Structures are given as C-alpha cells and as structure tokens.
Amino acid sequence: MDNEKQVEDKRGVEVEEEEEVKQETNENDATNSDTKVEVEKEEVEEVEEEEEEVKIQHNNQKSPQINILPSSANWYNSQIADCNSNAIYVVASKFTLFLFDVEKKKYIGELLGHTERILSVCFNKTLSNLCVSSSSDKSVRLWDINTLQNIKSHNIHQNEVTFVTFSNFINDIVVSGDKDGKIIVWRTFSNDIKVYQPIPTNSSQITCLAFSNHQDLPNLITIGYMNGMVILFDIVTGLIVSKIAAHTDEIQCLLWIDIPPPKPSKLKDLDTESTLSSSPLDRKSITFVSSSKDRSIKVWRQVGEKLDSGFHPIHQLVPGRSGGGGGNSGGGGEKQRTWLTVSWSPKEPQYLVSNSLSSDLYLWNLTLEKPIPEKFGGIQHQRTIFNITQIPYTSTSTTVNNTKYPCSLMTTSMDRNLIYWESMKGKWKISSIGGFVYSITSSPFSPNTISMGCGDNSIRQWSPTAESTDYDAKWYWKGIQSKITAISICPTNGCLIAFGLDDGRVGVYDIDKNNSFFFPGAHRKEVYDVQWRTIGTEKLLIYSVGNNDVFEWDYSGAREKGFKNTNDYIKIAADTSNSPPIKFGSKGEFCWNDDQTMIVMSNLNGEIRLFDSQFNHLAVTKDHKSLVNRIRWNPHPDYKNYFASASLDKTIIIYRTVVSSNDDNDGTTTVKLEIVKHLKGHKGGVFGLCWSPHVHNILASCSADASVQVWNTDSGEPIGNLRGHDGRVFAVQFSFMYPNVIFSGGEDQTVRMWDYTMAIYKNPPTEISTVKKTMKSHSTKESSSTRNHHTIMIEQVKVKDEKIIIDSIPQQQQSQQVVIVSTDPIQNNNYNNLEKSPSSSSSSSSLTTTTTSSILVPIKKKSKVILPIQYKLQSQNLEPNIIGLAKTLIGQKDINNNNNNYNNNGQQQQQLESVSESSSNNVNSEIFEDGVFSNIKGLNQTMKKEMSEHLQNRELENYFSLCTWDVGGIQKALAKIAKNGQLSPHYVALAAQGGRELWKSTCELYIAQLILEGDYHMAVSYQLAIGKVIDAIELYRKAGYLQEAILLARKRLSPTDTPQMNELIESLYFEWGQLSEVSNYLNSIKCYLAANRPQLAINLLKSKQSTSRNQSLLTELQNLYQLE
C-alpha cells in the first residue's frame, strides 16, 4: 500500500443523505434512486489483518448521556415519527429510532437493531410502551421503549417494508406492507402471521396504510399504492371492500377522520352541479383523507349505506407554494420531488393540518364548502416537511386553550430540524445533523459553546448546559459546498473558525458576519486537521494537513498568495544549520504547542518528529506501528512538554520532551522524546484526542470501536468508557465549562454530551461492529384501481423461536414466496366464457370491473426445455416397458393391416385406442410414458403432465406453447394466463390465431390487467384497437387524465358519429375547470368557457383578488356574454 493511499484511507469514504437529495430532487430519477452509505477503511497490512476477525455486537445498555444532537430524520416518509399518549416522541433516523420526552424536552434513548434505513414507525394505541418499526432490511420489529429492547421481530417480507401500523382497537395486531404489494398481519402475542396480496400483480408497491377509526369496523384498513390507487381491505376475511382510483400518482399519506357536517357557503354558484350541498356529511359514514405526489389532497366520503357502493371526493385541497395555497401547483419544470402529508386530531375534528408544496404548515377547515388554508406562524421550516405528528396537549396556558387550533404538533423536514408547534406557532426545535461529524472544538471565548465540522457541508454551534435541555444549534453554511472535515477556532478572535474540506480547500468562516473566505490553492485531497498559529499580536497563520503535506496559510497578510509548503521550511532549516537533509516523507498529522515554540509532525509509517518554531529538527521516534491520526499537546502550563499521539494501531502514547546539555559544554542542548505511558485497550483505530482543560492528567480518546475512553495518564489506567455511538467516533472534546462533560461525534451523524464520571463501563468494548450498512431511497411507479369484492386465500405462517415456518410449503420450497389466489366469481365467469367458446365476449372493462386472480412469484427465467418430464424419463431405466411397447406396436400394425377400408372418420383411431388399452392391461401402466410417444391415448396424459409441470414451475410461456399444440388449446392457455395476471402484448397478438372474437376477449382481459397495474395509456390503446372509443375516454376521465380525455374525444369523435359528443366534451371541460380552480384559476376560467358555462367563469373571476388585469378580463367577458 503506497503512502498516498494510506493517507486517503485515514478516514472512511462517506456517501450520506445529502447525496440522496441530489438524486431524489430530480423528478425523473426519484422513482428508482438508490442511495447508499458505505463505510470503507483500509489500514496498514498488519492492522488490517487483526481487524478481519472482529465480530459484530449491538448493545443497548448505553452509557448515560446528558444530551444529544440527533442525526437527521429520514426523508420522504409520512410516518417516520409518532407520539404516544405520554408525549414520548419517536423519530427514525437512518437505522436508529430516537426517543424524546416532548413535555420535558428531554432525550430518552435509542432503539437499535435495524441494519438498513427505517421506513415507518408507529406506537401502540393503548400499550404506550410498545412501538413497531419497518425497514429496508425487510424486517418488522416490536420494541419496548421502557427497556429500549427489541422484544420481537419477523422477516417474512421478501422486499423493503414500506409501511407498518398498529390496529386502533386490537392491541396485538400489526399490519405491514412492502414493495411487492404484500401485506402481513402479525398477531404479536401469539406470533401468528397471515400474508395477503390484495392486488396480485408484480407492480403493486404499497406506500402507506391506515387502520379504521370506527369501532364497528376494527379490521378494515386502507392501503395506498404507488400508482395512486387506494383500496379498503378487511384483514380478517381477506375481502377487498372497495377500490378507488384516488390519484394519478403515488399515495403519500392516508388517514381516517370524522368531521362534522359542512357549513353552507355564503357565496353560491349559480350552477348547482358545482356545490357540495347535495351530499351532506353523516358521522356514521366512512371518511378518509389521501395525499399524493400529484400535488392534491382529497377528502373521500362513502357514497351510500354500503361500503361497496364506493366513495367520492367531498374536498380537493391543493396546497400552493406560498401562503394561501395560491399559485400554479403544477410547477412545470420544477425538479424538487413533491411531498404532501396530513394530520388530524379527534379533539378538533373539523380541522385538517397539511404541509404546503414549499415549507409551510396549513390548517384547513373541512366544514367549509371550499376550505381555505391558514398558515402557521412562529418558527418555520426552510424546506419540505415530511411528517406531521399529533402530540398530546403539553400546555395549559390561556393562549393554547383559547386558540383556534389548540393541538400540539411535531414536524420533520428536509432542513433537518424537528419543530414543536403550539397554538399554530412554532415554539422550539431540535436541530439534527445530516452528515458525519468529523471535528469538534471549543474555545475559552465561549466556554459553553462547541463548534462542529459536519459532512452535510456546514459548521454547527451548539450551546447546551448540564441543567437545561437545549437542542437548537446554529447552522453556518454560506459558500461551503463540500464536507467540513476539520475546524479550529482562532485563539485571538472567537468569531473566526478555520476549516478544511474534503475537496482539499482551506478557508475561514466569520460567524459574526455569516460569510466564508477561501484561500487560493488547495490540497489535492481531504484536509485532516487545521490549526491556528499566532506570531506576535498581528500575525495570524493557519496550518493544514492533507494529501501527505502540511501547508501554511497567511490569514492576516497576503491571503491571495495561497499556501506555503512546510517541506520548504524544513529544507531551508537543514541547509542553514549545516546538518544533513532530513528525509521526512509524507505527513499525516501535526500539532503546535500552546506557546507556539515547537511543532510535532508524524509520518505515515508511525514516525514522529519534533521541530522548533523555525522548523529546525529536534528529535525523532518511531513507536507506533501504523499511521498517527491525532497529536495533542497538554494545555496545562506545568505539563506543556507533554503530548499524546493516537494511531490506527489502536494505541495512544504519552510523550515528554526532555532537554539536556551536551557533554562538550558548548552551550548546545539535545532534545529527546521519552515515552511516559503507552495506553492500550481500544479495539479499533484511535481517531481523536482531547486533554481535559481542568485536570492535567485526564485524557479522552475516541475510536473506531464506537466508544470514547477516558484515561488517567499518570497511572495509565482507564477511568471510564462511554458507549452509545453506532459507528466510528471521529471527534472528542472536553467542555470548558463543566469539568466532567465530554462531547463526541462521528459516523452515526450525532453529537453526544456525556458525564464521564457516570460511565457504566471502565474499559473499551471487547467486540466492535464491522458491518457495512446500506441506505436506500424508495420510490417506483406502480399499479392502479378497481372496485370489487375479492376473497383472498392465504397460507398460514408462524414465527417460533425467531425461525420462520411456512405451513403447507415443502421444505425445499420455503425460500419461495407464498402463492396467493383470488376467487372472484365475477372475473372467473369471464375466464370461463373465454375458455368455453371463441365467440364469447367478456364485459366491457372499466375501473370497476375486473382484476387478476392469482399470481405465482417470483417470476423465473424461461426454461429452454419444453418437455421437462420426458427429458427426465430419458435418464431412467425403461427396460421393463420395452416388451409392452413392442406388443402395443404389433397390435397397432395388425389393426392397420386388417382395416385398410376404414374411412377417416375416427373409427380407426378408436380401434387403435382400444387395442392399446387392452395391450396395456398386460403391461406396466407407465407404458404411456415410454419416451417415444407410441401410445395415442397416452399422448393426452403426457401433455397434461408436462403442462402441469410448467404451471407448477411458473413457466407460463412454455405452458402456452404446449396448449397451442392442441386444437382449441389456445383458449384454455389464455384463460389460465389471464387468471395468473401475466397477459402481455405477446399473448394478445397470439390470440388472433383463435379468431377475432377470441382476440377481442383477450384484449378486454388485458385492458383490465393494465388498469390494475396503472398503465392507463396502454389500456386506452387496446380499447381503441377493439373500437371502444367511448370506454377509452371514460377510462381517462376516471383516472384523472382529463386533458388526454378531451384531446382523444376531439380527435376520434364527431357530432355525426356520436350525438352526445358535445355534452361529453363539455362535461370533461367542466370537471377540469373544477379541479384547477385553486391551483390555476385562469385555466379554470378557460375550461368553463369551453364547457359553455360562462357564468361560472365570471363568478370565479369575481371571487379572485381584484387586480387591473382581472378587472379588465372580467369586463370584457361580461360584455361578450352579456352577463353580470
């Protein structure tokens, strides 16, 4: 391993959540972006070999922590946080669940166990100590927050578990959904599990779930899909109660609500069709809310008395990007990924809370006919809000009791802040960190403030106290576009912070002016450390190390000149002193002592050299076996000749500089480096060091073993070991204010505040984690909707002793997914009709007719063997059947000779079959599988066995091919494939072999499958192919593609062909106008005019803000149509 590579490997390569933003903000890439956090570190060969045998250990018995700045909450999830009845708030960040007491504003602890990004978390509604979480690691875990332990879990899912929720009324029911479209009902007390796939297609990704809030419907759950469909599903009967084509894009949030009847609007439209008064709300009816990536929020209401009568939207809310919900929500060309989430409280049932398309929080009064959003005030988010959590009332102040909306909320956002809201105002926030914490420092100028260099391209300053809980950290980022890997506070001006970046640049941030300055030039790679040096009262220099060199930067002088390489100083010093040149290779670390008279530098091989202020060489030693990561001088005046070095060899060495006179009495002195203590105990490389500013012999170190160790340097004994980080710890810093307080930060993107005198452990952990965790983003396009009843038959699954047993599945097949079968009588009739006669025609497909009935997953690659059983027979011993075969063949030959006059009317074949059957009575029954297909009657049996084998192995293409060998077999094959939900353009094209009627019937079934999968455009293409133009237009209409429906109607219909064409097109324009009233009222006006309803256009224009443009337009329209 070369020197340059060793320096590069000093710290791991980080691909953090900030990189995910760059991918997920691109709308085109948001559906399949896959972001990873990879922790890579190579050490020198001997250290690397020692690390290989280290195993993983997770321990939730963490050291007591006074406070914490958590890592950023996960993005693009609507239920990434929740709160129980005791105001305990849980929020997911990466692979960890953080717990806070909202009333006390106090950090409680963490829940560890997931190995990939957590996607959903939910508290039990009555057992407040229990919560459940789901993750990309395909697991669902049940936690006890009192003990911080994972008490149960299952891994039944075969893909990422996108959502999980508890039943509102049954304590032990947990339902989770995944990217394969499966939901798993888990009874946590008995460990019984049921697996359902309500929509049996390969493209039915579940995005969210919501249990009923009606006590008489405890088993009913709404399921949202990636394609915008919502279904109501009964988890006990396996019945799909209703299907709704709710949105045209991903469902992002679902919740059940119960609202009072709406208040009548003061302004009535002249057209009664546009009002909602015809559908009064009934508390006994089901109402739920859905939000979608299509930038709309819809409130759905049950149409009739029965659930299967369907739902209709009573409100469509379109949050804008600014206060009042105005503006064009279409936002053409914007790249930021849209996210809409909602929240509702039964204490204030008339109100719904949502985020906006920017960073605002809105309150909607659902009792109004046309709700208008009201913006929350106080502390605000700066970027997209992802989650809104209801918090139990935490205040009894008069302001809260008298406010319009007294509920309390917590929100998560892309700006990495958690904000607490009360009385419709943001009150306080918890700052979080979005990248590795590389460096922590403090200064006597602000003894209670620590500064942090973070991988989210920012400098943070946090001022917590031991007595209070303050989570608000200042954020400095202007001009910085790379990860901050090193920082140092100026010793003469506490507002100046020198920093180094992972791209090699060095700069200074003036926090008083809130701006940054960069020196010209840079290291070629990451900067590992920076430090100030003062010369006199005016000279300010900055030193940095990176890419094997230590550079000097002049901040007080000619900044534009860039850096000077200290190698030049070392060479000049050697020349002027007539001493031999010093072969000092690539440098990995340095440190000036407090009085700026000596500097220590380390080489990549563990060698340490001491220089004076003029870079004259004083001493050298090589006691470490690997790269030195950090060097720090003791800050106490009486011990200023002591310094500590930390290395990847897992050890720390305390040195003392010893000055002695030469023996020749010429007045010269010799400096030696003497080892005082060799501290051993860490199980990973040591990355950081910090001496206590209060006690001279107390040293703290941090390591790749995920712990912080406190040492007594006089005795060399460990004092305490602080555990709690989930990953390598890069930085450690003592508080200047509190002698016992230590801060640390690292790979888990947290900064933790400890009292080391309360440490549970004394020595470092015996085992460390070396597992690489993966973080993924989640979004893909998937299916759509229909409305029908479906009975789902399932396999029973049990979890015992953490082992999964799938009943009724052979042992060798337990790794396969469960086969799910639908027995819908309606659709089975369609398949039976297709199977009976080529002339049969299935009913017209629409959003409310059919769905596929079964699915065999996973889909395997097509086998090249079309007769697998016969090929197996070739390898078997068929000798016993040879005589039987001979007798059969002789019998057939005799019949042929004696019946030459038979007509070709089937008599000969009957005779042959009878002879064959009689011959077989004396021969083994397996004569029909003799491998040469000699027996005519046996051919049918052979074909049936081969086709059954293909179905069992999910080889549908080979099954179809064999079916086509029989006359009329293509009908049977198509029916079977349609039931499996596996129709494709290939099969539809081959259906033409059976005639036009069979092809048409197959097209209709394929249309139904496409609708279910959300491929409306292809479904319309096939409807047009079979001449169902009106059905195609209606499909676009029901799916919400009104523009496409209008254009298609204009293109394919004419008044002579369809007398109702004008009425149809006008109704489409009217619907389009209604949908765009809030988001784009000018487009709505055009639609009303095209729908021949000018009065609606004029009324809408009157209701908008009076501007010169609006007034002019209004006047012209009134004159043209002669309306008021």
Q: Which two tokens stand for residue 920?
A: 């077989």
pLDDT given for residue 1110 in this prediction: 78
Q: How confident is the prediction for the chain on average, in pLDDT?
A: 77
Q: Are 251 and 292 in contact (CB under 8 A)?
A: yes
CA dist., res. 30 & res. 34, Å (int)? 9
744 - beta bridge partners?
732, 752
Q: Are 724 and 737 in contact (CB under 8 A)?
A: no
Most confident by average pLDDT, 319-323, 327-331, 412-416, 764-768:
412-416
pLDDT given for residue 862 in this prediction: 53
Q: What does the pLDDT look like over 538-562, one tens digit per residue? A: 789 999 999 889 999 999 877 778 8
Q: Are 661 and 620 in contact (CB under 8 A)?
A: no
Residue 903 CA, distance from chain mean position: 73
Give the residue ranges of DSSP H helices in 356-421. Answer: 398-402
CA dist., res. 672 & res. 660, Å (int)? 8
Residue 41 CA, distance from chain mean position: 26
Lowest-pLDDT range of 715-719, 938-942, 1015-1019:
938-942
Higher-pLDDT residue of 417, 16: 417
Q: Are 454 and 442 in contact (CB under 8 A)?
A: no
CA dist., res. 609 & res. 587, Å (int)? 10
Give the residue ranges of DSSP H helices in 352-416. Answer: 398-402
Percent of the chain with pLDDT over 90: 42
Q: Are 74 and 92 in contact (CB under 8 A)?
A: yes
Residues 6+ apart with CB under 8 A from 1096: 269, 270, 271, 274, 1073, 1088
**pLDDT of 264 over the 70 cut:** no
pLDDT given for residue 677 in this prediction: 95
> Beta strand 506-510 with 598-603: parallel, antiparallel or unpaired?
unpaired
Q: What does the pLDDT look like over 721-741, one tens digit per residue? A: 999 998 999 999 999 999 999
Rounded mean pLDDT of 295-305?
88
Tell me the DSSP string of 1017-1067: HHHHHHHHHTT-HHHHHHHHHHHT-HHHHHHHHHHH--TTT-TTHHHHHHH
**pLDDT of 23 over the 50 cut:** no
Most confident by average pLDDT, 510-524, 555-569, 1041-1055:
510-524
Q: Which amino acid is at 989?
A: A
Rounded mean pLDDT of 1074-1083?
79
pLDDT given for residue 861 in this prediction: 53
Q: Which two tokens stand for residue 398?
A: 């008069």
Tally of residues, the chain:
1124
CA dist., res. 1118 & res. 208, Å (int)? 47
All domains of the chain in start order, with CATH:
3-42 (no CATH), 72-211+791-809 (2.130.10.10), 253-263+279-432 (2.130.10.10), 684-770 (no CATH), 864-898+905-935 (no CATH), 1061-1121 (no CATH)
**pLDDT of 363 over the 80 cut:** yes
419 - beta bridge partners?
411, 429
Higher-pLDDT residue of 873, 154: 154
858 cis-preceded (ω within 30 degrees of 0): yes
pLDDT given for residue 829 in this prediction: 38
Q: What does the pLDDT look like over 953-991, one tens digit per residue? A: 666 666 777 776 766 677 777 877 777 677 888 888 888
Q: What does the pLDDT look like over 475-510, one tens digit per residue? A: 898 889 899 999 999 999 999 999 999 999 999 999
CA dist., res. 567 & res. 692, Å (int)? 32
Tell me the DSSP string of 567-594: HHHHHHHHHHTTPPPP----EEEEEE-T
pLDDT given for residue 573 in this prediction: 63
CA dist., res. 923 & res. 118, Å (int)? 64
CA dist., res. 367 & res. 390, Å (int)? 20
Q: What does the pLDDT look like over 584-631, one tens digit per residue? A: 668 889 999 999 999 999 988 899 999 999 998 899 999 999 999 999
Higher-pLDDT residue of 505, 1058: 505
CA dist., res. 277 & res. 265, Å (int)? 9
Lowest-pLDDT range of 6-10, 180-184, 690-694:
6-10
pLDDT given for residue 658 in this prediction: 92
CA dist., res. 629 & res. 9, Å (int)? 11
Q: What does the pLDDT look like over 446-482, one tens digit per residue? A: 998 999 999 999 999 998 876 666 777 898 988 898 9
Rounded mean pLDDT of 258-266?
61
Q: Are 1075 and 1087 in contact (CB under 8 A)?
A: no
CA dist., res. 1109 & res. 1111, Å (int)? 5
pLDDT given for residue 469 in this prediction: 66
Q: Say which residue the tokens 């050299």 belong to.
A: 609
Rounded mean pLDDT of 343-353?
94
pLDDT given for residue 202 in this prediction: 60
**Gyration radius of the chain's alpha carbons:** 37
CA dist., res. 256 & res. 299, Å (int)? 10
pLDDT given for residue 647 in this prediction: 95
pLDDT band, residue 828 (cuts 50/70/90): very low
pLDDT given for residue 812 in this prediction: 32
CA dist., res. 419 & res. 431, Å (int)? 9
Phi, psi of 918 (to 5 degrees): -65, -35
Phi, psi of 156 (to 5 degrees): -70, -35
Percent of the chain with pLDDT over 70: 70
**pLDDT of 670 over the 70 cut:** yes
Cβ neighbours of 1028 (radius 10 Å): 20
Rounded mean pLDDT of 1103-1115?
78
